[in-house]
Amino acid sequence: MRQRDFTRSAPLAALLLSAAVGCSAAMAGSGSGSGSSSGSGSGSGTAKGSASGTAKNSARAIAAVSGDVYPVPKPPFSKGIFPCTECHDTSDTPNTKRRVLSDQHEKIKLHHGPRERWCFDCHNPNNRDKLRLASGRLISFTESYKLCGQCHGPKLRDWRVGVHGKRTGSWRGRKRYLLCAHCHNPHSPRFKPIKPMPPPVRTKDIR
């Protein structure tokens, strides 16, 4: 650095150093005063109240993203199929042997990891009106997204924040979500190929 530049910057450096020392002293005085003076009780109470409110708001925000229950419409059951206990009496001993269904539900074709799972990996054999998580916990069909999320975690995360699937409502107000089953067949979730629409007509071809 040239001598002239150093001479010009010296007063600025001294000013910044003085300001830093003054701020440190002010902070130290504030801290000691609040600890020993009863007159500052009102101020500290306001600070505590503000911190408490912030914590509550943060908790609400976290619950809104990672909450356990989401408002959804009625699941898209086939007509006359629910409640399942109208046919499956809870007092009956369920046949949990893995097999090809032939007497009932034979029209259901499982194309959803058929080698790894079958009916009772998702449906509860002792109460057919409930679904069953891998942990054994029973959930209602309106909570079926939890069941799907066991394998499709990233999709569930995106669904919760409104990126995947469909969510209606306002940004900060009440929201409503469509279940996975509103768009995907749970037994065969892959979408069927869709025939593309023809391209738009070019303006020069319009007569």
Q: What is the pLDDT of residues 25-35, one digit of tens each?
A: 444 444 444 43
Give the separation between CA 35 and CA 30, rounded to whole angstroms: 9
Euclidean distance between CA atoms 129 and 138, whole angstroms: 10
Q: Residues with Cβ < 8 Å from 50, sequence gap 6 or more?
A: none
The residues near 133 (Cβ < 8 Å, ≥ 6 apart) are 139, 146, 147, 150
DSSP conformation class of 185: B
Q: How far is CA 169 from CA 26, 141, 146, in A?
A: 48, 22, 21
Which pLDDT value is given to residue 90?
74
Residue 62's pLDDT is what?
Answer: 39
- Per the CB < 8 A criterion, the answer to whether 144 and 150 are in contact is no
Under a CB-based contact definition with an 8 Å cutoff, are residues 116 and 158 in contact? no
The pLDDT of residue 19 is 53
**What is residue 157's predicted lDDT score, i.e. its pLDDT?**
93
Residues in the chain with pLDDT values less than 50: 1-11, 13, 15, 21, 23-48, 54-66
Assess contact for 8 and 14: CB atoms under 8 A. no
Residues 6+ apart with CB under 8 A from 110: 118, 119, 187, 188
Q: How far apart are CA 54 and CA 102, in angstroms?
A: 59
Evaluate whether 78 touches 114 at the Cβ level (below 8 Å).
no
Q: Tell me which amino acid residue 57 is.
A: N
Structure token pair of residue 203:
């303006």
Tell me if 91 sits within 8 A of 98, measured CB to CB: no
Residue with tokens 């408002």: 71
Residue 143: per-residue pLDDT: 94
pLDDT of residue 107: 80
As a whole number of angstroms, the distance between CA 155 and CA 205 comes to 44
